[in-house]
Amino acid sequence: MYSAPSACSCLCLHFLLLCFQVQVLAAKENVDFRIHVENQTPALEDVSCKQLRLYQLYSDGDKYAQLLVERDTFGSQVRIKGKETEFYLCMNRKGKLVGKPDGTSK
- Domain boundary assignment for the chain: 1-30, 37-100
Percent of the chain with pLDDT over 70: 42
pLDDT at position 88 over 70: yes
Instruction: List, in sequence order, every beta strand (DSSP E) within 26-106.
Output: 37-39, 50-56, 66-72, 78-82, 88-91, 97-100
Question: pTM of the full predicted structure?
Answer: 0.50
Q: Which residue has the higher pLDDT, 2 or 72?
A: 72
Find the mean pLDDT for residues 2-31: 51
Among the residue ranges 4-8, 17-21, 56-60, 89-93, the one predicted with the least confidence is 17-21
pLDDT at position 41 over 70: no
Fold of 37-100: Trefoil (Acidic Fibroblast Growth Factor, subunit A) (2.80.10)
